[in-house]
Amino acid sequence: MTLGFVLGPVVLWLARPTDTTLVAGVAIALVGEGLRVWAAGHLTKAQQVTTSGPYRSFAHPLYLGSSIIGAGLAIASASAIAAGLIAVYLVATLTASIRSERAFLRSEVASGDARQRFALTRAIANREHRALLGVLVAILLLAWKATYNGSFWR
């Protein structure tokens, strides 16, 4: 079982979202998902190092997007402990992913200047729709919890 499946329910249990924290957190999380979609649309995984789109400015825009999503969900949860668990999850998973990715890129992927136009089909091929679905599920669960707690649109 992955860390996310263990911590997700705990974060939801600890969350105390309100309409204000949901609006702010969702806005931030959607910016992060937008960055991920933009990055995934420029990336051909396991084939080349990409230097177009957000890769011109950031070494790991997918991971930066995930971190922004995490910050948004932490704000939406309105719980310091939940935010801490989200941070632990992000540090653990992103650090491991970056290490693994660097090792793979050094040994397997052709380097060079690979610039590509954004393509939604490439973002879908990179399964970014799964990340978007995950963000939407988390937002809906937090909205449900805020409604259930009576703190939504009061």
Q: Beta strands of 2-153 (E only): which ranges?
A: 48-50, 110-114
Q: What angle do CA 113, 117, 118 make, to 5 degrees?
A: 125
Number of H helices, E strands in the chain: 6, 2
- From CA 61, how far away is CA 108, in angstroms rounded? 21
Half-sphere exposure of 101 (CA within 13 A, CB side): 15
Provide mean pLDDT across the span 21-30. Answer: 96
Q: What is the pLDDT of residues 78-115, one digit of tens each?
A: 999 999 999 999 999 999 888 888 777 777 655 555 67
Domain ranges of the chain: 8-148
- From CA 140, how far away is CA 112, in angstroms rounded? 42
Q: For residue 98, what pLDDT is reported?
A: 86
Secondary structure class of 109 (helix, strand, coil): coil
**Does residue 54 surpass a pLDDT of 70?**
yes
- From CA 154, how far away is CA 147, in angstroms rounded? 9
Q: Give 5's contacts (C-beta < 8 A, 6+ positions apart).
A: none
pTM here is: 0.85
Q: What is the pLDDT of residues 55-76, one digit of tens each?
A: 999 989 999 999 999 999 999 9
Percent of the chain with pLDDT over 90: 55
Q: What is the mean pLDDT of the chain?
A: 87
